[in-house]
Chain A
Amino acid sequence: MENILSILVFFPAIAGLLGFVVDKESARAYGITVAAIEFLLSVWLWFSFDTANAGMQFVELIPIIPDFGISYYLGVDGISLFIILMATLMTLIGMMSMSITENIKNMIITLLFLEMTMVGVFVSLDAIIFYLFWELSLVPMLYIIGAWGGPLRVYAAVKFFLYTFTGSLIMLVGMLFVAYVYHNLTGVWSFAITDWYALVLPVNYQLWLFAAFFVGFAIKVPMFPFHTWLPYAHGQAPTIGSVILAAVLLKMGTYGFVRFSLPMFPDASVMAIMPIAALSIVMIIYTAMVAYAQKDMKQVIAYSSVSHMGIIMLGIFAMNAEGISGSVFQMLSHGIVSGALFMLVGVIYDRRHTKLMSEFGGLASVMPKYAVIFGIMLMASVGLPLTIGFVGEFLVLLGFYHVSPVLTALAGTSIIIGAIYMLTLFKKSFFGPVTNEANKTLKDLSSKETWSLVPLVLIVVWLGVYPKPVLAPIDNSVKAMLAFMDAKAITQEAKDMIKVSKTTLNRGEVK
């Protein structure tokens, strides 16, 4: 099946359209089935993926608008493969655990369209197609937050939409400019990213374009100081919205840096290391502190999410294989762990309709299963060894140590502060005597919730103990990318900064 990527993209969309016909009562089962098939398809993609090949695989190329140079161009490499898997998995699990009953059919259809856009973003190799899915992903999310969210939902939804939309329009101008430069040099219009990789741009062009793309991606990540939309979005979104937002949508931003900024503007990226590292450190420490000050469990996790995205950003700009591979891995681990944490908060919110830590206490004795799973995910979030969170975080810090030991030490405090606010949350909510009468009769996890969460726990432990099956293909593609960047860089500083590991150079073709 050479066109498996098209199937992966359009299967949920077609299922979403057909979903209008499905009866309201059966919509949930329909959605879960479709998401499960989609997940199995993505697993199939993994098994048919050639892990030794670092380049793009399953490439599909159909010109749509030759006059603009826009084509339907899809492909997947080690970097995007696992993000796709994570996206389909989290959609499936999110749907399984969903507790919403009101307008369930609309929710299922929206989620299926959202899944299309998410997969689409990660498989597009044409900038305009990428942009298309990127923008389109805002619409279902707007609806999910706005229709099923908390009291301030409309404000949060519109803020989310406008923030991201503004940033991506700047990015669009950047894309148009790259296409223009490409046209000037070659006489052909093309928006294909792989064609753009071949462009060697002067440094001042690179800097401006880097800035344009940075605005689009940084708002999505969200980098400090563009992060203010995120706590609102998380605070107001329903559980499923937060899960998808944290697990997948934020990864679009960091993925964009890896896919666009680094290989296209290597010199500008190297120059941007220090500013971005500074922003990332601020983001890591400041939001971690803010997380500690929150009273609401969900806000704690939302801010911890921002803090962890800082680690990912830091790794990407380490400019060596450990850092970038670690970042990509951390994207996966953050997706799974923060998704699970949001689901866990959703579990208690469904029972008590509050997320304030002061309302709880001693939950461990009432809900033991819940407490165990929460504990594991919390440890993974903090980065305990032998959990998935440790691998990525360790690699990122290791990678960035080559750049700046001092900043790495500062970034390392995130583990300590993370442990402080997470353990405080756990202590306040789960330990001690049950003080609130309402908590005494709470039911432990239902089978639906257990079945959604246990697979995530297994993944957290499995990839924490043995990350190689996932890390090896990622590393392979990342190394190829670094070798390419090194060959392309024009300034000496960039060449010095970009660390190419010689061992894997002969393996696999560079784009």
Chain B
Amino acid sequence: MLQPINVSLESLNLITLAPMLIAVAGGLIILILDLINGKLHKSLYVMLTILVLVVDFGATLGLNVNERGFFDVMLIDGVSIVSQLLIIVASIIFTPLALTSKRFHEYSYPEFFALFLFMVAGFQFMVASDNLILIFVGLETASLALYTLIALHNRSNSYEAAVKYFTMGALAAGFFAMGSAVIYGLTGSIELYRVADVLAARMNETGLMIAVFGSAVLLLVAFAFKLSLFPFHTWAPDVYEGASAPLAGYMSVVPKVAAFVVSIRIFGMYIDLGVEWVRIVIIVLAVLTMTLANVMALVQEDVKRMLAYSSISHAGFIIAALALDTTEGTTAIFFYYALFMFTNLGAFTMLWISRHKVRRFDARYDHPYEKFAGMISIRPVGAVIMAIFMLSLAGVPPFSVFWGKIYVMQAAVNSGYVWLAVVMGLNSAIAAYYYLKLVVYMFLKEPVKDVDTVQYNSSKPLMAVVGFATLATVAAIFYVQPLVSYIYYMISASGY
């Protein structure tokens, strides 16, 4: 006779699931609405999505720090709250970009918004757990939704991008599963806090290091794919190019934040266990990623591809902070992304505004540099805003990314990695060249074509997003203090 298992509802602590459930329910509501009336305008769905995300934001903000729920599968610590908030804010900024003045294929399907909300829920699951299976489920939910969103753009190169991303994603998922399997084989557990305990106890056994090495390498490869670290970054520029500009901007922030959280949990564990070469490998990867991505960005002819390489390089910058494994280093990751998010989404929105149905400047590229030539005389305000985004990305003070940069560099210096800070500084200098190239085109060259080229797709919601991003970029100095103290508090509260 099987004993019935009694589970009290209180012990499940369902509130920890609330944010994800809100997002999933929102997605379902959108699908149901579409069933009832198929002729609703996309603006309705956009606003509904934003509202759902706002509720989601509120629910996340209200969570208590350091709680577990649902058979201890859910883990709500400071890292997961901060990262969920980042994910939701980025999603809220992203959503209104559907309201372009020109019609684009993907937004005519309500499924786009439902998928989008499912994806957000997937990322939230991914960051709110230290159970390798739930992380995997969250990762795959989010990724499959994301592949579909890319393909919905309905262009030949977006199919290419989606398939490429899918293939690489599947490969990464395979590595992740195998890495998890090795961990399970070693410790008999898939919950990281138990894994850490068991490994700590068995650390002295002979021959164990090879297995630890194996699991770490497999997981490192999986996350190097997700974070687009060298040498697993090659998919990124093509995928960014094929995806629509807003989605590319989104991909450079949200999936990476989620992957960073999991990396902090997994590789932080290895480093805490004293497996020093994980730290070394990550630092080497970080230096290679930022340097090589910067060098490759120099020769790009398309602004979007340039921004893709620049995102890779920024990811390399931040992964270095992860290797430090200090409270400051971990804070730096979220702080950097919080600041980078506004600027980067702003820059991709500017590309989106200038997007044409047909390629008017180049047979191959949507956004060649020539497109922005002489923008100062066509759209002075737009040119100044774009220049501010570029200077911010280059790390010119007082714009937002600068503060993230000095925080990361300070964290490196504080941990004794002065040379790393110098490498970061030199990389910023290399990066300045390609950001400056766009500024030079906009300010110092003559326009190639006539007036409508750079604001073709403009609409009030898009302008509002750009305005908000500009404000957040320029006025960073005024909110850096509350932001950094909040993140630092949350991170230290969860013990990283």
Contact = CB atoms under 8 A, between A and B. Distances in A.
Contact of A139 (B391, B478, B485): B391
B58 interface: no
B163 interface: no
A31 B443 CA distance: 21
Contact of A158 (B429, B436, B480): B436
A312 B413 CA distance: 33
Interface stretch (B108-116, B206-214, B420-428): B420-428
A153 B444 CA distance: 9
B267 interface: no
B22 interface: no
A135 to B, nearest CB: 5
A169 B406 contact: no
Contacts of A172: 406, 409, 425
B62 interface: no
Nearest to B439: A142
Given A65-B484, A132-B398, A165 B429 contact: yes
A485 B266 CA distance: 50
A473 B439 CA distance: 43
A179 B410 contact: yes
Given A136-B397, A146-B443, A170 B433 contact: no
Interface string B74-99: 00000000000000000000000000
Contacts of B444: 143, 146-147, 153-154, 157
Contacts of A177: 413, 418, 421
A146 B426 contact: no
B190 interface: no
A161 B395 CA distance: 13
Contacts of B481: 64-67
Nearest to B387: A139
B382 to A, nearest CB: 14
A139 B402 CA distance: 15
A349 interface: no
B290 to A, nearest CB: 13
Contacts of B484: 65, 67-68
Q: Chain A interface: which size bin?
A: 20 to 34
Interface string A122-162: 00000010011001101100110011000001100110011
A504 B480 CA distance: 44
A131 B397 contact: yes
Interface centre among A132, A143, A146, A165 (most CB of B within 10 A): A165
B198 to A, nearest CB: 37
A128 B405 CA distance: 13
Contact of B488 (A67, A146, A176): A67
A158 B445 CA distance: 13
Nearest to B488: A67
Given A65-B484, A135-B397, A170 B391 contact: no
A68 B443 CA distance: 35
A143 B407 CA distance: 29
Interface string B198-238: 00000000000000000000000000000000000000000
A129 B376 CA distance: 29
A172 B428 CA distance: 11
Interface string B435-461: 010011001110000000000000000
Contacts of A170: 422, 425-426
Nearest to B405: A172
Contacts of A131: 397
A68 B440 CA distance: 33
A161 B436 CA distance: 9
B274 to A, nearest CB: 25
Interface string B449-485: 0000000000000000000000000000110110011
Contacts of B485: 67
Given A67-B488, A135-B396, A173-B422, A128 B406 contact: yes
B429 A157 contact: no
B432 to A, nearest CB: 5
Given A135-B396, A169-B428, A158 B409 contact: no
Interface string B129-171: 0000000000000000000000000000000000000000000
Nearest to A147: B444
Contacts of B477: 64-65
B436 A162 contact: yes
A68 B391 CA distance: 22
Nearest to A161: B436
A379 B323 CA distance: 60
Interface in A63-98: 64-68
B43 interface: no
A169 B443 contact: no
A176 B409 contact: yes
A180 interface: yes
Contacts of B414: 180, 183
Contacts of A142: 436, 439
Contacts of A139: 391, 396
Given A139-B391, A157-B440, A173-B418, A166 B396 contact: no
A166 B403 CA distance: 17
Contacts of B478: 64
A51 B37 CA distance: 80
Contacts of B418: 173, 177
Contact of B413 (A67, A143, A176): A176
Contacts of B398: 132, 136
Interface in B384-414: 391, 394-398, 403, 406-407, 409-410, 413-414
A154 B433 CA distance: 12
A173 B429 contact: no
A158 B397 CA distance: 18
Given A158-B440, A169-B428, A176 B396 contact: no
B429 A146 contact: no
A132 B414 CA distance: 22
Contacts of B413: 173, 176-177, 180
Contacts of A154: 440, 444-445
B433 A158 contact: yes
A482 B444 CA distance: 46
A503 to B, nearest CB: 41
Contacts of B407: 68
Nearest to A106: B376
Contacts of A136: 396-398
Contact of A146 (B425, B428, B433, B440): B440
A162 B429 contact: yes
Contacts of B440: 146, 154, 157-158
A314 to B, nearest CB: 29
B433 A176 contact: no
A128 B481 CA distance: 14
B397 A169 contact: no
B396 A169 contact: no
Nearest to B414: A180
Given A128-B406, A172-B409, A177-B421, 5 more contacts: A68-B407, A146-B440, A158-B433, A165-B396, A173-B413
27 contacts: A64-B477, A65-B480, A67-B488, A68-B406, A68-B480, A106-B376, A132-B398, A135-B397, A142-B436, A153-B444, A154-B445, A158-B436, A161-B436, A162-B436, A165-B396, A165-B428, A165-B432, A166-B426, A169-B429, A170-B426, A172-B425, A173-B409, A173-B422, A176-B410, A177-B413, A177-B418, A177-B421
* 3 tightest Cβ-Cβ pairs between the two chains A and B: A169-B425, A166-B429, A132-B397
